[in-house]
Amino acid sequence: MADSHTRPKPGELKTFTDWTVGCDNALRCALGSLLPEMGGEDMITLNLSREPGPVAAGGGKISLALETSNDVEATKRPPASFAVDGKRIALHDAAALAAAIANAQSLKILDAKGGTLATLSLKGAAAALRYIDAQQGRAGSIDAVVAKGPAPSSAPIPPLPIITAIAPSGTPAKLSGAQVATMRKRATCDLGSFPDGAGESITTPETYALGGGKSLVILPCSTGAYNLIGALFIVDGTRITPAQLDARSGFEATGADTGTSVKSVINGEFKDGVLTSYAKGRGLGDCGSHQSFVWDATRFRLSEQADMGECRGNIDYITAWRAKVIR
């Protein structure tokens, strides 16, 4: 299959009171519950996702995910069922749950004995589900969750973009002290942001062979409480140039940085031919942006992105962009 050379355009997230929602470029959509802005004891969050396409053709499947890792009680008493306006719904019956919360006032998560583990606000849930109906082309059709109508479903299934990536090969370049100093100057690195006594293990650049005699350099450039910013360079023989990416990365992607001459990743890693970035908005990790890039011999291409714009306890990020990678 040939590379589609599609320019990435991650979907935007929207928030309806206590729920956030978004769709990716292939119209897979998800909504996630948000914890109270003032905080509370309950730390369980719920995400519901729906695949694109007509139900009659096997599309439109609804699935759910409960995030309990930050809730102490849920680790002792695992969730066993839901109660929507008092009516029990099986733990994994996502379609029934979505239909129920569209017209309900109360959602409780129960343990095996029927005890309440958490109560989730349903303010905005119906609006978020209606948004998904509209984005997936289901409004007014029999396949809609909220915006139901008599029309047969004609929900589209956009194809995934295709990226032809290069499998890493070769030996990573060895950098001289002068080369590292030049890169730090080019990227305007702030070594003063690193903790006093930070060892070389933190500030030493990492190099990875890409293939074709080229290597990737992730250069630790500055740091905060929970974010390590790594500037990206490509080494090709004696030539060192800033890496090229086809999408905003790191804090550029979150909007916290309007752009720099040298692209960067946050808490970046390069493994199995995939460059990742995880920009956190808070230490809890309940807001920010996850990104994955692959190398096509000239630049890094965005293969996946998942975001969470609201810092309200939900660590199950919503996918905003996907591509099919072929090597």
Residue 125 reports pLDDT greater than 80: yes
pLDDT in tens, 42-54: 899 999 999 999 9
255 vs 64, more confident: 64
pLDDT of residue 146: 97
Show the tokens assigned to 266: 């946050």
pLDDT of residue 1: 86
257 vs 188, more confident: 188
Contact residues for 177 (Cβ-Cβ < 8 A; gap 6+): none
pLDDT band at 193 (very low <50, low <70, confident <90, very high): confident
Residue 244 reports pLDDT greater than 80: yes
Residue 38 reports pLDDT greater than 90: no
Distance CA 112, CA 59 (A): 32
- The fold of 13-136 is Immunoglobulin-like (2.60.40)
Cβ pair 320, 305 in contact under 8 A:
yes
pLDDT in tens, 268-280: 999 999 999 999 9
Distance of CA 196 to the CA centre of its chain: 33
Residues forming CATH 2.60.40 domain(s) in the chain: 13-136
- Over the chain, what is the mean pLDDT? 94
- Predicted TM-score (pTM) of the model is 0.94
Distance CA 45, CA 66 (A): 6
- Nearest residue to 42 via CA among 7, 18, 17: 18
pLDDT in tens, 163-174: 999 999 999 999
